[in-house]
Amino acid sequence: MISFNIRSAGYVVGKNVLKNLSGEIEDHTTTMIIGRSGGGKTTLILALTGILTNLLEGWVDGEIILKQLDPLDPEDFKSIPKIVGAVLQDPDKQISMPTPWDEISFVLENLGYPPEEIDRRVSQMLREAGLEHKAFHEIEKLSGGEKRRVTYAASVAHDPEIIILDEPTASVDPWGIKTLRDFVRRYRGEKTIIVIEHKPDYFIDYVDKIIRIENGMIKEVYKPSERDYLEKKFSEYDQDLSCVSKTVSNNKILETKDLVIGYDKPILKDISIELYEKEIIVITGANGSGKTTLMKTLIGWLKPFDGEIKIYGRSMRKRKDLLKTFFYISQQPDYMFLSNTVENELRSGRGLSEDLFNMFPWKNILKENPYKISFGQRRWLSILLGLVYQRKILVIDEPSAGLDPDLYKDLVRFLMSLVDKYNISLIISTHDPRIIRDLAHRVYHIDHVKNKIMEIDKEKILKMMYEAAMS
């Protein structure tokens, strides 16, 4: 059993992130934790596992018992990795080794497993995660969703009693989500599972209890007997926002002709796409199919093997010309930050600073370090900073990752307002069907079997994604 009575907790003494939380999580149950971005969900997990106090120099005023261990005690904390497997919110901050094989092996080696057992378990976990064919690929060349699968495999390779999944579906394709759902269903009732999730529909059928955290406190606890209430409450997730603009220009800003892209060798060929002024196009496809590689090629970071990229009908051969048109916002928001406070980041906008401040929802964290705010807050900030460079085309990788349902709605309206106010166009790579439904004028889908990209009907791709994830 996990029991906790946290009077207050945080990262800096005097600044409470959690306050007056108490409760129990019974053995062999599945609990889902929900709530707004920045509300304290991840901090609670860090406190329960002892990471907050033992590794992050944070503090907890209270008592926590995790399977008869006190994770706040440095000696007991040494035993926590043996019984807990955690998939953290940000895979880039969790992975430390150069390949998937090395990452999983590293966990088992630290726990004292013999070499033969390590080889067996690593092979098994890579197979279950769908990464067997990329066992020795460089981590840096994996997609965000593939990195997420690596952290999942490494975290459960030692067969822990407690499994913690922090935003497990972020940046994961529908097929990967199905794998995660199957995993939770497989271990439900056998292990203690805690899932933090902004898309509760994916796991609601498998949970025994749902805890809602707001402003660092537990606001509500739902029980299975309240299933009808829960389904009504979460139906907002499927609400069609109908924000697709009707003001697309007839001026073609981007056109690619027979583009061939890849790193060491071609992975996609015959890429022909178009983008018009004030248009939003979405690119979809399985993890590792080439979405991010395409984006990096368009903005000039990677050189195509063949084909051409045209801007307003003029062929762009030089990297500097592409950089004048595009700005890329990575799915890893931390790459965007240069200052030590959120306020200073927003002030970097020069003539746009007032607009940036007005469009940032969390005025209470302006003095915080941008690396220490929640993932959803960092995601929003990174998109805002993309405006500073005043490019005609913003290329955004997984914009909705880490955002709660309310904040997602704000994001949709926010992105649409950027298009209208600044007369820009957007290219969005995503696995989130809501983005396709609510924002896309057109959709291009990468078929990872045929290694080709083609325009696809919105309703067709939405049905395909839903069936893949929920089957």
Q: What is the pTM of this model?
A: 0.82
Pick the range with the lowest mean pLDDT from 209-218, 221-230, 244-253, 373-382. Answer: 221-230
For residues 31, 234, 400 and 283, what is the CA-based torsion angle, rounded to 10 degrees? 110
Tally Cβ neighbours within 10 Å of residue 422: 15
Cβ pair 199, 237 in contact under 8 A? yes
Does residue 234 surpass a pLDDT of 60? no
Q: State mean pLDDT over 247-257.
A: 89
Pick the range with the lowest mean pLDDT from 5-9, 225-229, 409-413, 421-425. Answer: 225-229
Q: Give dist(CA 333, CA 89) in Å, integer.
A: 12
Q: Give dist(CA 223, CA 62) in Å, integer.
A: 26
Q: Which residues does residue 300 pair with via DSSP β-bridges, in sequence order?
A: none
Position 299: which residue type? I
DSSP H helices, 111-194, are: 115-128, 144-156, 174-187
Q: State mean pLDDT over 338-367.
A: 87
Q: Give dist(CA 63, CA 60) in Å, integer.
A: 8
Cβ pair 86, 42 in contact under 8 A? no
Q: State mean pLDDT over 150-163.
A: 94
Does residue 233 surpass a pLDDT of 60? no
pLDDT band at 171 (very low <50, low <70, confident <90, very high): confident
* 436: helix, strand or coil: helix
Residue 452 sits at the vertex; the CA angle it makes with 391 and 328, to the nearest 5 degrees, is 20
What the block records as the tokens of 463 is 């049905």
What the block records as the tokens of 264 is 């060491």
What is residue 230's predicted lDDT score, i.e. its pLDDT? 57
Taking alpha carbons only, the member of 148, 179, 149, 152 closest to residue 163 is 152
Tally Cβ neighbours within 10 Å of residue 339: 13
Taking alpha carbons only, the member of 263, 295, 296 closest to residue 141 is 263
pLDDT band at 245 (very low <50, low <70, confident <90, very high): low
Cβ pair 316, 322 in contact under 8 A? yes
Does residue 212 surpass a pLDDT of 70? yes
What is residue 239's predicted lDDT score, i.e. its pLDDT? 56
What is residue 242's predicted lDDT score, i.e. its pLDDT? 56
In order of start, what are the domains of the chain with their CATH numbers? 2-238 (3.40.50.300), 252-470 (3.40.50.300)
Tally Cβ neighbours within 10 Å of residue 190: 9
Q: Give dist(CA 264, CA 315) in Å, integer.
A: 24
* pLDDT tens per residue across span 87-120: 887 788 889 999 999 999 999 999 999 999 999 9
* pLDDT tens per residue across span 306-330: 999 999 999 998 888 898 999 999 8
Position 373: which residue type? I
What is residue 210's predicted lDDT score, i.e. its pLDDT? 92
Cβ pair 197, 227 in contact under 8 A? no
